[in-house]
Amino acid sequence: MKTIRRFSFFPGARTLKSGIAVALSVFLSRYIPYSLPILAGTAAVICIQPSITVGLQKGFERAKTTVVAGLFGLGLYFLFGANLIVLGLAVIVLISVFKKLRWLDGIVLGSLTVTAIMSGEAENVLIYTVGRVTSTLIGIAAATATNILVAPPRHHATFRQELKSLTDSFPDLYFKAIEAYAVNREELAVQAFAELEEKKQEIGRLLSELDYLKAGAETRFGSILEGVDLKEVVLYENSIRFLQQVTDKIHDIVEVAQRRWQYKRKQAAQGLVHVRSPEFEKLVQSVQELAGMLAELHRYVFRLVGENNRDLQPVIRQQAEDIKQARDRVRERLKYWQVEHMQELDIFSLMSTHRIIFDLEEIAGALTKLAFSGLGAADN
């Protein structure tokens, strides 16, 4: 069956703002002496970015490149005139200097500016250079005003909303992963793998929003425009790093559970059936209890990160203490199970159980660390 694709004729916010900014910059350039409408419009398009801060940074880079290259080309023109050999050497020197300064995005624009000035095509190179600078500034101003006043990007709000959505659904994976191991059912492992892929995509979207927030937090004006400070960004970055880590750990748990199911099925085909001992049942129960507590702490910690709700602090501290006790219970029951049934245990069952418990302890340690870093940020 052939899929019919539907195309939307409604442009996005950035597209609309690009059109408005170009029209505004060209309109303004007509009333400012020596300005060049095409350059003003070009600067406006470049400065309409998904983030206001990134747009200003692009504009600043374009402005400084135009000024430096303009003055450089203007000085050489007054000294040597429209000399093609000097023009070629000027471009070589400019590119080398820009690389040294790490102004890589300005190499093309700077080279074009020097070429336009030294080619001798302009009737008055001084007026032409001033026009290039003023046109760039007009485009930057028009784009920035448009980006702020017309559907301004709200990356902080978007980040918090997506983090909340992930927080509401993510903890269920703790239960599914351990349940796949506890009841030895492959379909649960398959479901968990599918959900893990969805979570990785959601984490990827969070990373994209975080990049814009980081760009804003690195400058004072950006922090005001994006509504986020550096401490918040660091906490958000730590949170995403934890989500990536816990995703890997849960994937490992589900993979172990799936391999255990395959191993048990192979043994059953050979007529080897192992009866689950009461000690193992108690161990599994403790592991499930630990997973449930981690899921609950996960919810509260990410509510603290996303909402900055200080009322959650006492609950989080108590949950962290309870998790320490739960980890001790798991270790005790693991040790007791091994002692009572060492002769009956096969290496695979022993190693897989140890690995799952180790993964949960790693998650507990990382989540507790994130919890207290979040408490510290909230206290500030």
Q: If pLDDT is split at 50, 70 and 90, which confidence band does 362 have? A: very high
* Residue 369: CATH number of its domain: 1.20.58.220
Q: pLDDT tens-digit profile of 8-52?
A: 556 788 899 999 999 999 999 999 999 999 999 999 999 998 888
**Taking all residues of the chain, what is their mean pLDDT, rounded to a whole number?**
86
Domains of the chain: total: 2
Q: Are residues 125 and 219 in the same domain?
A: no
Residues 109 and 161 both lie in one domain: no
Whether residues 104 and 159 share a domain: the answer is: no
Residue where one domain finishes, among candidates 118, 149, 180: 149
250 vs 278: CA distance, rounded Å: 26
In this structure, the answer to whether residues 49 and 179 fall within a common structural domain is no
Which pLDDT belongs to residue 375? 65
Residues 135 and 174 in one domain: no
Q: What is the mean pLDDT of residues 91-101?
A: 95
pLDDT of 377 over the 70 cut: no
Residues 283, 143: one domain? Answer: no
- List pLDDT tens digits, range 234-284: 889 999 999 999 999 999 999 998 888 888 888 778 776 666 778 888 888
DSSP letters of 104-145?
GGGHHHHHHHHHHHHTS-SS-HHHHHHHHHHHHHHHHHHHHH
Q: Which of 20-29, 134-143, 186-195 has the lowest mean pLDDT?
A: 186-195
Residue 262: how many other CB atoms lie within 10 Å? 12
CA distance 177 to 250: 7
In a domain, 1, yes or no: no
Is 372 found in the same domain as 248?
A: yes
Q: What pLDDT, on a 0 to 100 scale, did the predictor assign at position 273?
A: 64
Q: Is the pLDDT of residue 378 over 60?
A: no
Task: Give residue 5's pLDDT.
Answer: 47
The pLDDT value recorded for residue 345 is 62
Q: What is the DSSP letter of 354?
A: H
pLDDT of residue 199: 93
> Which pLDDT belongs to residue 9?
53
Last residue of a domain, one of 132, 149, 166: 149
Query: Does the pLDDT at position 85 exceed 50?
Result: yes
Read off the pLDDT band of 151 (50, 70, 90): confident
Host domain of residue 79: 13-149
pLDDT in tens, 57-82: 888 899 999 999 999 999 999 999 99
The rounded distance, in Å, linking the Cα atoms of 270 and 267 is 5
